[in-house]
Chains A and B, each alone.
Chain A
């Protein structure tokens, strides 16, 4: 169980988070949504220890921010919203950086980078230069590195965590689904997933638990049906949004795009 309580963050002179909290269970996919600038990335960075913050972050009753970096690296991996790379590493070498801690000692460690690349649909890309990949390919290569770091969703009976900041923002629809299924499988095998997303449809499809943020506060938190309501979404995104759900099988269903205004 991951629990962040009362997180407040001030960046520069601007207070960005006002006592935001998050509860996420292992075995489930938790998705954070909200408009640009609502503080999703900031919350994720506070939870993963990137930023100093007020409040507390507990991982199974352990204070996460008291753990040393190498212990943290054993129990969670983080995919940042944007990534940079300073030197001409090959894709294989970038992914291999995720081979850290206990996993590096496995007898099949040398094969793991290629398997991680295969999972994100980049089989055979190992020999290319990371900087010469397309944006979406780079995002998936970074995801492979992150997956490698927590290759086993559960290690010694302890669930491990994936923190993903907009994992599918740069991807085409096919790879969006592939990556979301990867995340879901990680959770189904006992790991915990916390993802920041902009795509509300994918969120509705894959989230077990949703948190909607607005202006550095949590607007609503709970199951998809409770959180992604017309009222909540319209308020958060500042435009009128309609939530539709397809009716039970066979019934006639008319998309709003098809409506003609007289």
Chain B
């Protein structure tokens, strides 16, 4: 999982073509996600074991009601939510890093997650004041859509503030991200303060940095938005590769730069927004996953984006399993698990980068 054996590309072959290795990595990640999915289905406080279920399925014996509920109404939506959220967070991190041309850009760190959270809370607390036509149109998707708009507005502001003539200032980006995050957090706090009892229940329903509340209803509301973002991401791969050379060079390579930048911002906002709407803030996936993958297979976005989706999905499932086991039968919010695992890795990334020229 952690790509230490490869070090800093010590094993790159003489031609410098890492596409074969990238394909193998993706294949390995597919297996990893499948294993993590099976483990996730078999883990939980209810004491339903996958072995028993499998035995019953082979012998043709019917599952008990309890087993069916635990498996299909609790663990399966949780599994799918975890996979989608993990993939979305990792992909939005990779896209944002490509867009800002900086490996430290991450929706969680630079306030996009907080902006999305503000959007979601706005929808819950003040959504009733929206025109009925809008409410009818958005239906159950209102909260994830609002989170998407919150994330979108934040990303746009951030990009405008920190990018001049196609160059991003890292310091400005990080500081503007802190300011935007704090502002969103403060506004969210005010909204929670004025929320009534029903709205507070809805706020709890929409998540506290945890997958514990995963349900088919929440998944149905947010999944289409995350799927759209994940499907749009591969279209950005060539553009993000070109952007690594700067906007001018990208345009000369035949890339419609402005259109691709807009699409990238929408993708980041949709993936982050919907993920935040179902599970609250889950940190570090967006920065750690693409970074590890770049070490293993290089920064070519044609491979990086699908690989990030897979590794993000698998890692989030693992973190979720840990969160369910470590203080069982109680559960740790998954955001705490990813922070404990991701924080040190992030610091290690910063340490490694100190001497590298491309900062």
A87–B294 touching, CB < 8 Å? yes
Minimum CB–CB distance from A77 to chain B (whole Å) comes to 7
A90 contacts B by Cβ under 8 Å? yes
A92–B16 touching, CB < 8 Å? yes
* With A77-B252, A126-B14 already in contact, 19 other A-B pairs whose C-beta atoms are closer than 8 Å: A50-B251, A69-B256, A72-B252, A76-B252, A78-B252, A85-B244, A86-B101, A86-B245, A87-B103, A88-B294, A90-B16, A90-B18, A91-B16, A92-B16, A93-B17, A94-B245, A96-B17, A97-B245, A100-B253
A87–B254 touching, CB < 8 Å? no
A227 contacts B by Cβ under 8 Å? no
Stretch from A23-31, A53-61, A127-135, A172-180 contacting the other chain:
A127-135
B299–A89 touching, CB < 8 Å? yes
A88–B249 touching, CB < 8 Å? no
Binary per-residue interface labels of chain B (256-283) against chain A in the complex, 1 for a CB within 8 Å, 0 otherwise:
1100000000000000000000000000
Within 8 A of B (CB), among A27-60: 45, 48-50
Contacts of B18 in A (CB 8 A): 90, 93
B300 contacts A by Cβ under 8 Å? yes
B198 contacts A by Cβ under 8 Å? no
The chain A residue sitting closest to B301, CB to CB, is: A87
B248–A50 touching, CB < 8 Å? yes
B9 contacts A by Cβ under 8 Å? yes
B243 contacts A by Cβ under 8 Å? yes
Minimum CB–CB distance from A220 to chain B (whole Å) comes to 29
Binary per-residue interface labels of chain A (104-142) against chain B in the complex, 1 for a CB within 8 Å, 0 otherwise:
000000000110000000001111110100000000000
Please give me the 4 A-B residue pairs with the lowest Cβ-Cβ distance, nearest first: A73-B254, A92-B16, A90-B16, A87-B299
A86–B244 touching, CB < 8 Å? yes
A83–B249 touching, CB < 8 Å? yes
The chain A residue sitting closest to B290, CB to CB, is: A87
B246 contacts A by Cβ under 8 Å? yes
The chain B residue sitting closest to A91, CB to CB, is: B16
B13 contacts A by Cβ under 8 Å? yes
Minimum CB–CB distance from A200 to chain B (whole Å) comes to 27
B298 contacts A by Cβ under 8 Å? yes
Contacts of A152 in B (CB 8 A): none
Minimum CB–CB distance from A150 to chain B (whole Å) comes to 11
Q: Which of B15, B253, B257, B298 contacts A88 (CB 8 A)?
A: B298
The chain B residue sitting closest to A84, CB to CB, is: B246
Binary per-residue interface labels of chain B (43-58) against chain A in the complex, 1 for a CB within 8 Å, 0 otherwise:
0000000000000000
A70 contacts B by Cβ under 8 Å? yes
B25 contacts A by Cβ under 8 Å? no
B61 contacts A by Cβ under 8 Å? no
Contacts of B249 in A (CB 8 A): 78, 80, 83
B255 contacts A by Cβ under 8 Å? yes
B358–A114 touching, CB < 8 Å? no
Interface range, A side: 35 or more
A87 CA / B243 CA spacing, docked (Å)? 10
With contact pairs A87-B299, A90-B12 given, residues A73 and B245 touching in the complex (Cβ less than 8 Å): no
Contacts of B252 in A (CB 8 A): 48, 72-73, 76-78, 149
Contacts of A45 in B (CB 8 A): 248
A88–B248 touching, CB < 8 Å? no
20 A-B pairs in the complex with CB atoms less than 8 angstroms apart: A48-B252, A49-B251, A50-B251, A69-B256, A72-B252, A73-B253, A84-B245, A87-B294, A87-B299, A88-B358, A90-B17, A91-B16, A92-B17, A93-B17, A97-B241, A100-B254, A114-B15, A127-B15, A129-B9, A149-B252
B16–A88 touching, CB < 8 Å? no
Contacts of B294 in A (CB 8 A): 87-88
Contacts of A215 in B (CB 8 A): none
A68 contacts B by Cβ under 8 Å? yes
Interface centre among B9, B102, B244, B253 (most CB of A within 10 A): B253
Binary per-residue interface labels of chain B (226-258) against chain A in the complex, 1 for a CB within 8 Å, 0 otherwise:
000000000000100111111011011111110
A49 CA / B249 CA spacing, docked (Å)? 11
B171 contacts A by Cβ under 8 Å? no
A83 CA / B242 CA spacing, docked (Å)? 12
A84 CA / B294 CA spacing, docked (Å)? 18
B357 contacts A by Cβ under 8 Å? yes
Contacts of A76 in B (CB 8 A): 252
A100 CA / B237 CA spacing, docked (Å)? 13
Minimum CB–CB distance from A149 to chain B (whole Å) comes to 7
A88–B299 touching, CB < 8 Å? yes
A96 CA / B254 CA spacing, docked (Å)? 14
The chain B residue sitting closest to A110, CB to CB, is: B17
A80–B246 touching, CB < 8 Å? yes
With contact pairs A50-B251, A68-B256, A87-B294 given, residues A127 and B14 touching in the complex (Cβ less than 8 Å): yes
A101 contacts B by Cβ under 8 Å? yes
The chain A residue sitting closest to B300, CB to CB, is: A93
Contacts of B299 in A (CB 8 A): 87-89, 93
A216 contacts B by Cβ under 8 Å? no
Minimum CB–CB distance from A108 to chain B (whole Å) comes to 14
Binary per-residue interface labels of chain B (328-359) against chain A in the complex, 1 for a CB within 8 Å, 0 otherwise:
00000000000000000000000000001110
